[in-house]
Structure 1
Amino acid sequence: MTPTGHHPAPAWFDISTPDAPRARRFYQEMFGWRMNVLDETYTLVAGEGGRPAGGIGQAGPGSPYTGIVAYFPVDDVDAALQRAEELGGSRTLDPTSVPGQGRIAVFTDPDGNAVGLLGP
């Protein structure tokens, strides 16, 4: 682990789209993903052993991003987000608690790529 608490592999992915049902159908047919539809706005994608590995969500007018974001595990979401900003990143989604997942945040790197953080 690096001094900033980042781990090298993503822990979660999220696809934010203007048409969640269409995206759900596409990825289910493309990759054979098993889906757990929570409601029309969010679906969990099953990974190894049936545990959720990611999600597909409905992007609305106030959504912080659209597209796919990989979430990397960190020990402290607030500290990691602050470090990203110190290095030239921009905060996109403030730290938020997600039931059953911990806390998340999203920033864009200096090239504009959205990157997620996932921590306890």
Structure 2
Amino acid sequence: MSSTDRPHAPAWFDISTPDAPRARRFYQDLFGWQVDVIGGDYALVGGVDGRPQGGIGQAGTDSPYTGFVAYFPVDDVDTALARAERLGGSRVLPPTDTPVSRIAVFTDPDGNHVGLVGR
């Protein structure tokens, strides 16, 4: 099932933690996830048919957040982030290009972290 079949379903998750190796071991042991470390501080995890479903990264002093973030697919990350801010959200990670997509993170009015990922 694609994200167009379920347009509001999370497309990705990210766990940002002060101890990424510990978190990778924990979730690998808990869920049996495949863990593929890319670079020294980020790992792609989970996966269906060999495709990762999320990542676990090392949070540093300059990290915009720690904890769990679900990323929801949107047609335009910049437009969706601006809409979230107009509705009372607060920008945490500005629109950023990654090797595979454009992302952003905001907090909702209750302080929950929410991610946006371009389709």
TM-score, normalised on structure 1? Answer: 0.91
User: Which runs of at least 4 in structure 1 moved beyond 6 Å after TM superposition?
Assistant: none
Aligned counterpart, 1:112: 111
Residue 109 (structure 1) shift: 0.1
Unaligned stretches of 5+ residues in structure 1: 1-6
The superposition leaves residues 8-50 of structure 1 with CA deviations (integer Å, 9 ceiling, x where unpaired) of 1000000000000000000000100001111331000131111
Q: Distance in 1 between matches of 2:77 and 2:8?
A: 15
SS at match of 2:10: coil
The superposition leaves residues 41-72 of structure 1 with CA deviations (integer Å, 9 ceiling, x where unpaired) of 10001311111110000000111000000000
Does 2:74 align with 1:83?
no
SS at match of 1:80: helix
Aligned counterpart, 1:8: 8
| Total equivalences in the alignment | 114
SS at match of 1:14: strand
Aligned counterpart, 1:42: 42
Does 2:106 align with 1:103?
no
Q: Distance in 2 between matches of 1:33 and 1:50?
A: 11
The superposition leaves residues 64-117 of structure 1 with CA deviations (integer Å, 9 ceiling, x where unpaired) of 0000000000000000000000000000000001102x1000000000000000
Task: Give the counterpart letter for 2:56 in structure 1.
Answer: I
Q: Distance in 2 between matches of 1:38 and 1:80?
A: 29
Q: Distance in 2 between matches of 1:10 and 1:28?
A: 20
- What percent identity do the matched residue pairs reach? 73
Unaligned stretches of 5+ residues in structure 2: 1-6
Q: More displaced, 46-55 or 28-37?
A: 46-55
**Contact 1:21-1:40 within 8 A present in 2 as well:** no
SS at match of 2:63: coil
